[in-house]
Chain A
C-alpha cells in the first residue's frame, strides 16, 4: 500500500475505533441488541411453554349421564391437563367459579347430552373461553381445550365405526400420505414443511443483518466526511501534496475495515438471535442439508461474501457522495435519511416474496437497487443459482465504480468544499 494511503487508513481506523459513538453503535449495539431480542423471545417462549405445560380446564356437568362421565374421565386421562369440576346450578355460577379459579376454559355438558348421544341424535357441548388478558398463552390454552373436544368427538366416531366394521381398520384411515420434496430436480425424502421453516428462518435474518450493516457503514462514511468538512480538516488535507483519489480511497478503506468489524459483531448477534428463534418453532425432523444437496458450498459462501462486500462498498461510496453536499454531520445524517429508506426498504419485500413472482416493473426496480443483490446471492447459497448472483456482483461493481467516479470527480474539484444542499436553513455568507 502506498505510504500516503497507509497513513490515511491508519488514521481513519484509529479515529473511528476510538470514537465511543462508533464503538457503541457498530460493535456493542449489534452484539447486545440481537441477543437481547433473542433473550426476550426465548423468555417469552419459555413462559408460554410453561403455561401450556398444564392446561387448566373446568367441566360443569349438568347432565350427569354415562357419556358425560366418560367425557370427564377422557379429559382427566389426558396428559398436561388439569380438570376441575364445577358444581354449579346455572351458567352465572359457572362464570363466577371460572373467574375465581385459574382455568382458561370451561366445558359445559348440558342436560340430555348422554341421552342424545345414546339415541344417535346430535348432542350439544358448550365450550367457554375465560378471557383475562387476551395474551397468546391464553389463546393457546383455549385452543388446547378445543383440540381435546375434537379428540373426544373423534373417539366417539371411532367407537361407532368399530362396532359397524370390527375387522377393517382402513375405514377410518383409508389414505396414507407421505410428504417429500423435490430439490434441484431430484426427489428427496424430506418433509417440505421442515425445509420451508429452515429457509424462512434464513430469509429473515440476513436482510435484517444487512440492513443494519449498510446503514451503519453509510453513517460511518458520511460522518467521517462531514466531520472533516465541519472541522475544516478536509481543507487542510486537500492542500497537502497527496492525490485526492488517494484521500477518497483511504476514507473508504478505513470505513470498510471498521464496517467489517461491525459486520462480524452483527452476524454474531444474529446467529444468537436466530438460535432463539428456532427454539420457539415446533420441533421438526432434523434435516441433513448435505444429504439433500442444500448444504451451502464453499463457492456459494465466497460468492455471498463478495456480494456483501461490493454492496458495502457501493453503500460507502454513495454515503461519501451524499455527505459532500452536507455542511456538517447533522446535515449529512439528514441527507442520508432521505436516501437509505427508499434504497433499503424495498429489499424487505424479498423476505416475503420470490423476486420472480413480482410484477415486472417492481422486479426491475428491485434489481436496479444494489442492496437487492446480496439477498439474491444468499438465496443462491441454497438454490445453487450462481449465475444470478455473479451477474448481481458485476452489476453492483459497475454501480460502485460509477459512484466512485462521481465521488472522485467531486473530490478533485472545489465542489467538495462548496457544494451544499440546505435543508431549510439560511444561506451562509461566503467570506
Chain B
C-alpha cells in the first residue's frame, strides 16, 4: 500500500548534533497528521527532509511511494511546504505573491486564475490582497502563506508550525482553513506544532517527538485514554518522563 508519507528509520546529523535518531511513522491519505513536541525535538528537520530541502543521513522517507532523495523532483510536484515563520516578498502585493507562487504549479492562465481566486477566498484577506505584503500584520501574512500552500490542492501539504506566534483570532482562522480545506479537497496534511492543545483539536493522528525520537503515536483520543490523561500535554509529560 502507498502512503502519503512513509518514514522509516530516519536519521539526520548536523556535524556532531544528532537531530533525528531513527524515527518511523506513516500518514494515511486525507488525514491531518501532527508532529508535536518541544523546540529541538526534530519536527522541522523531519519536515525539511520530506520537503526535499535537506538529505537524511540514514533511513528512508517516501511521499506517495516516491523517495525524497532519489525522486526529489517528483516529490516536489506532489507537495507544498510552509516553513515556520516564513515571510513573503515584501514589495509584492498579496495578489502578486499568489500569482508568482501559483505560476510554478499552474497549467495555464485559467488554472492560475482559479488558484489565485481560491487562495483569495481561503485567506479571507479581501481587498487587502491588493496591498503590498510589507504592510501586513503577522497574522495576515500567515493567512496569505497558508492560502498559498493550499491553493493548488496539493496531494500533501507540509506545514511547519502554521499558527506559531499568531493571536487567538488569527490562529483560529488558520486552523479552520486547514481543517476545512483538508476535508473538502481530500488534501493530506502533515503539520508540526509545539502547541499540544491546538494539535488535539486539529489532527486526526499525532506523533509525540522528543530529542529526535518519536516517543508515542496514535489518535489524540487513543493516547489520552491509554495514558489516562486529560489532554496531550499530560500524555507528553508522562511519556517523556518529565513527571
Enumerate chain B residues within 8 angstroms of A241, measured Cβ to Cβ. Answer: 73, 76-77, 104-105
Query: Is residue B163 within 8 Å, beta carbon to beta carbon, of the partner chain?
Result: no
Do A431 and B83 contact each other (CB < 8 Å), given the known contacts A3-B103, A241-B73, A418-B14? no
Do A14 and B91 contact each other (CB < 8 Å), given the known contacts A232-B85, A239-B81? yes
A241 and B102 CA atoms in complex are apart in Å by 11
Contact bitstring B62-76, A, C-beta under 8 A = 1, else 0:
000000000001001
Q: A232-B83, A235-B51 are in contact. List 4 more A-B contacts (CB 8 A).
A: A233-B89, A240-B76, A242-B76, A430-B17
Query: Is residue A354 within 8 Å, beta carbon to beta carbon, of the partner chain?
Result: no
Enumerate chain A residues within 8 angstroms of B105, measured Cβ to Cβ. Answer: 240-241
Query: Is residue B45 within 8 Å, beta carbon to beta carbon, of the partner chain?
Result: yes
A232 and B87 CA atoms in complex are apart in Å by 6
User: Which of B39, B42, B80, B100 has most A Cβ within 10 Å?
Assistant: B100
Contact bitstring A125-148, B, C-beta under 8 A = 1, else 0:
000000000000000000000000
Residue ID in chain A nearest B91 by CB atoms: A18
Stretch in B52-60, B169-177, B195-203, B216-224 with 4+ CB within 8 Å of A: B52-60
Enumerate chain A residues within 8 angstroms of B53, measured Cβ to Cβ. Answer: 235, 238-239, 414, 417
A11 and B95 CA atoms in complex are apart in Å by 12
Ordered by A's residue number, 5 sampled pairs between the chains whose C-beta atoms are within 8 Å are: A235-B48, A235-B81, A238-B53, A241-B76, A431-B44
Q: How far is the CB of A18 from chain B (nearest CB, A)?
A: 4
Residue ID in chain A nearest B158 by CB atoms: A239
Q: Which of B39, B55, B89 has a CB less than 8 Å from the CB of A15?
A: B89
Q: How far is the CB of A123 from chain B (nearest CB, A)?
A: 79
A3 and B91 CA atoms in complex are apart in Å by 22
A4 touches B104 (CB 8 A): yes
Query: Is residue A429 within 8 Å, beta carbon to beta carbon, of the partner chain?
Result: yes
User: Which of A14, A230, A236 has most B Cβ within 10 Å?
Assistant: A236
Enumerate chain B residues within 8 angstroms of A73, measured Cβ to Cβ. Answer: none
Query: Is residue B92 within 8 Å, beta carbon to beta carbon, of the partner chain?
Result: yes
Query: Is residue B40 within 8 Å, beta carbon to beta carbon, of the partner chain?
Result: yes
Residue ID in chain A nearest B104 by CB atoms: A240
Residue ID in chain B nearest A3 by CB atoms: B103
Query: Is residue B118 within 8 Å, beta carbon to beta carbon, of the partner chain?
Result: no
A14 and B41 CA atoms in complex are apart in Å by 39
Contact bitstring B17-46, A, C-beta under 8 A = 1, else 0:
101000000000000000000011111110
Query: Is residue A7 within 8 Å, beta carbon to beta carbon, of the partner chain?
Result: yes
Enumerate chain B residues within 8 angstroms of A189, measured Cβ to Cβ. Answer: none
A10 and B100 CA atoms in complex are apart in Å by 9
User: Which of B45, B54, B80 has most A Cβ within 10 Å?
Assistant: B54
B87 touches A14 (CB 8 A): no
Query: Is residue B189 within 8 Å, beta carbon to beta carbon, of the partner chain?
Result: no
Query: Is residue A19 within 8 Å, beta carbon to beta carbon, of the partner chain?
Result: yes
Query: Is residue B79 within 8 Å, beta carbon to beta carbon, of the partner chain?
Result: yes
Enumerate chain A residues within 8 angstroms of B52, measured Cβ to Cβ. Answer: 238-239
A245 and B88 CA atoms in complex are apart in Å by 21
The 6 A-B pairs with the shortest beta carbon distances in the complex, nearest first, are A231-B87, A239-B81, A18-B91, A431-B44, A232-B86, A414-B54
A7 touches B100 (CB 8 A): yes
A159 and B53 CA atoms in complex are apart in Å by 94
A15 and B96 CA atoms in complex are apart in Å by 11
User: Which of A4, A18, A238, A241 has most B Cβ within 10 Å?
Assistant: A241
Contact bitstring A8-22, B, C-beta under 8 A = 1, else 0:
001100110011000
A242 and B52 CA atoms in complex are apart in Å by 12
A333 and B40 CA atoms in complex are apart in Å by 29
Q: How far is the CB of B233 from chain A (nearest CB, A)?
A: 20
Query: Is residue B82 within 8 Å, beta carbon to beta carbon, of the partner chain?
Result: yes
A236 and B52 CA atoms in complex are apart in Å by 11
Enumerate chain B residues within 8 angstroms of A3, measured Cβ to Cβ. Answer: 103
Do A4 and B103 contact each other (CB < 8 Å), given the known contacts A236-B83, A414-B53? yes
Of residues 5 through 61 on chain A, the ones whose CB sits less than 8 Å from some CB of chain B are 7, 10-11, 14-15, 18-19
A242 touches B104 (CB 8 A): yes
A3 and B106 CA atoms in complex are apart in Å by 11
B86 touches A233 (CB 8 A): yes
A222 and B92 CA atoms in complex are apart in Å by 19
A430 and B105 CA atoms in complex are apart in Å by 30
Residue ID in chain A nearest B39 by CB atoms: A431
B87 touches A233 (CB 8 A): yes
A430 touches B19 (CB 8 A): yes
Enumerate chain B residues within 8 angstroms of A232, measured Cβ to Cβ. Answer: 83-87
A431 touches B55 (CB 8 A): no
